[in-house]
Amino acid sequence: MPLHEYIKKRDLKVSPEPLHKKKSKSPKKTSPLMFVVQEHHASHLHYDFRLELNGVLKSWAIPKGISLDPKVKRLAVEVEDHPLSYGHFEGVIPQGQYGAGTVRIWDTGTWEPVGSARQGLKKGHLEFKLRGKKLFGSWVLIKTQRAAGKKSQWLLIKKSDEYARPHEISKSA
Ligand code: MN
């Protein structure tokens, strides 16, 4: 039940957030995988980074947003899987609801794992390429030893390539 935690945290009768039941997909699905970054003005502004995998969106909350500087490691706290339909969601989560505040799509496009995504997630070292409107090129998510409560902490890092911007402080605004 990959979306159990997503459903448990929300009152989807009150919140406009989507829930589309996972459709049974051909395991041979060849269409590109989606990614999305959502700017989420909740109690603290953060950026939700989501990668489509196995019929859900694997999700991380990035408090400081995404940096194009390969020297900058941005904390990315792993959060619950989200339904694929969440990748198109923009709107206002009502006060009193989980994650109350405005959600806007900051960037979206397709992604491609380098090697096996499943193994990358398991071993805590996931390399991938993004093709978005703002974000391109090679990236890596590296799991750290620390955990925030029971949530795993990762670092999102831009790899050096022609899309890196070594001296930029932040691309989060
Ligand atoms: Mn969020």
Q: Rounded to the nearest whole angstrom, what is the distance from the C-alpha of residue 81 to the centroid of ligand 1?
A: 12
Q: Rounded to the nearest whole angstrom, what is the distance from the C-alpha of residue 136 to the centroid of ligand 1?
A: 22
Residue with tokens 């096996």: 116
Strand 151-158 to strand 73-83: parallel, antiparallel, or no bridges (unpaired)?
A: antiparallel
Q: Rounded to the nearest whole angstrom, what is the distance from the C-alpha of residue 146 to the centroid of ligand 1?
A: 20
Q: Rounded to the nearest whole angstrom, what is the distance from the C-alpha of residue 167 to the centroid of ligand 1?
A: 27
Q: Rounded to the nearest whole angstrom, what is the distance from the C-alpha of residue 28 to the centroid of ligand 1?
A: 31
pLDDT of residue 15: 94
pLDDT of residue 150: 73
Distance CA 161, CA 139 (A): 10
pLDDT of residue 173: 46
Other beta carbons within 10 angstroms of residue 91's beta carbon come to: 12
Q: Rounded to the nearest whole angstrom, what is the distance from the C-alpha of residue 21 to the centroid of ligand 1?
A: 21
Ligand 1 ion: nearby residues, β-carbon < 5 Å: 40, 48
Other beta carbons within 10 angstroms of residue 77's beta carbon come to: 17
Give how far Cα 1 sits from Cα of 5, 22, 74, 138, 166, Å.
Answer: 8, 10, 29, 31, 41
Q: Rounded to the nearest whole angstrom, what is the distance from the C-alpha of residue 51 to the centroid of ligand 1?
A: 14
Q: Rounded to the nearest whole angstrom, what is the distance from the C-alpha of residue 78 to the centroid of ligand 1?
A: 11
Q: Rounded to the nearest whole angstrom, what is the distance from the C-alpha of residue 61 to the centroid of ligand 1?
A: 6
pLDDT of residue 56: 95
> Two tokens at 132?
């978005």
pLDDT of residue 28: 57
Q: Are 97 and 32 in contact (CB under 8 A)?
A: no
pLDDT of residue 152: 92
Q: Rounded to the nearest whole angstrom, what is the distance from the C-alpha of residue 100 to the centroid of ligand 1?
A: 9
pLDDT of residue 47: 98
Span 52-68, pLDDT tens digits: 999 999 999 999 999 99
Largest CA-CA distance found in the chain, in angstroms, rounded? 45
pLDDT of residue 145: 78
pLDDT of residue 151: 81
pLDDT of residue 148: 58
> Two tokens at 129?
């390429």
Per-block mean pLDDT, blocks of 10 residues, the chain (173 long): 87 90 57 96 97 96 96 96 97 96 98 96 96 98 79 95 83 51
